Amino acid sequence: MTIRTVKKIYPGSPSIDGAGVHLNRIFANQDVEALDPFLLLDFFDADDPRLYLKGFPWHPHRGIETITYLVEGLLEHGDSLGNSGVIEPLGCQWMTAGSGIIHQEMPQAADHMLGA
């Protein structure tokens, strides 16, 4: 049995991203070597749609992998190739964001939006 120790705790900090989505940014661009292959981790938890409804309009990811999961709420996704879908409660999307392709993630009004 291998015993591991916690090297660092990332409490996160309140942040606003996209077109005005209030979230908690756990980490981004710091300690990349310790967190490889992860570059960014955001967590959102809101009961007020005004804190997330503006969403994440059209933007690129330039060839990285993204994972979005929802515990509660709905999130519509679309890309510049015409692909689209909805992430539902307890749903997950793993996306390979190809270079040159743009996409958007647009939350829908819900009693509670919870996910990462």
What pLDDT does residue 69 have? 94
Q: What is the pTM of this model?
A: 0.84
Query: How many other CB atoms are found less than 10 A from the CB of residue 86?
Result: 13
What pLDDT does residue 63 have? 76
pLDDT in tens, 55-110: 999 998 877 888 999 999 999 999 999 999 999 999 999 988 777 889 999 999 99
CA 97/CA 61 separation, integer angstroms? 6
Q: Which domains does the chain have, with CATH numbers?
A: 13-115 (2.60.120.10)
Query: How many other CB atoms are found less than 10 A from the CB of residue 14?
Result: 8
pLDDT in tens, 39-48: 889 999 999 9
Contact 68, 115 (CB under 8 A): yes
